[in-house]
Amino acid sequence: MHEQSYDGQSLFGPSDSRKYLNAAERHRFVEAVRHMPSKIRPFCLTLRWSGARISEALALTPAAIDIKSGVACIETLKRRKRGIVLQVLLPPDVLHELNHAFKPRIAQRDPQVATLRLWGWSRTTAWCYVKAVMAAAGITGRPAMPKGLRHGFGLNAFPSNVPPHLMQRWLGHASLRTTFIYGDVIGAEERGFAARMWQDR
């Protein structure tokens, strides 16, 4: 059972159902994204690799994308205080998709265009696009939602030995206690300990 939670949050729902995409599902999601239209691909990949909430990704503008540095400046919308910006590194293939779809460096030359949202969708429309990719990837149940990608991002960081304080910054958590929910899920290191214990019979 996974009963532990921090600040009232948990990665598991009723009947111990998980809320996150596992590694195989994250891989299938990315593969399914490749078959989507050009504006949907960078949005879904940004969600997958930034850990951003859906509303935070929708708020991105050309001015927020630094192709040369590989950084997306994401304003966290969960805090009570506005104006808290997270700098999140994105993989080269995601930056390529963003550059191909929106040409942010060119858009940044015009002060008005630079501050326009990349995606003019409503939150509901964006949610439906992500759900369509989930369906194409064969992902169903509780994890098959945008927040499943955010949780999957956090879970991928722990076994990759990303320092907790860096994870906290990337995810925009006010408290490290919230970040540590991602340490509760059994990973490779814990499996290694268990395997050594089983050998001692």
pLDDT of residue 15: 63
- How far apart, in Å, are the Cα atoms of 48 and each of 51, 59, 86, 124, 200? 6, 16, 16, 18, 40
Domains and CATH numbers, the chain: 14-199 (1.10.443.10)
> Token pair of 22, please?
């596992």
Other CB atoms within a 10 A radius of the CB of residue 12 amount to 19
Grouping H, G, I as helix, E, B as strand and the rest as coil, residue 145 is coil
pLDDT in tens, the chain (201 residues): 444 444 446 777 666 578 888 889 999 999 999 999 999 999 999 999 998 999 999 999 999 999 999 999 998 876 566 778 888 899 999 999 999 999 999 999 999 999 999 999 999 999 999 999 999 999 999 889 998 998 888 887 776 777 777 777 777 777 777 777 777 665 555 555 556 657 765
pLDDT of residue 199: 72
Reference 53, options 86, 71, 78; nearest CA is 78
pLDDT of residue 8: 46
Q: Give the whole-angstrom CA distance, residue 80 versus residue 183.
A: 26
- How far apart, in Å, are the Cα atoms of 16 and each of 12, 94, 173? 5, 33, 24
What DSSP string runs through 5-56?
Answer: -BTTB-SB-GGG-B-S--HHHHHHHHHHHTTS-TTHHHHHHHHHHH---HHH
Q: Give the whole-angstrom CA distance, residue 58 versus residue 184.
A: 30
pLDDT of residue 151: 86
Length of the chain: 201
Cα-flanking dihedrals φ and ψ of residue 190, to 5°? -65, -40
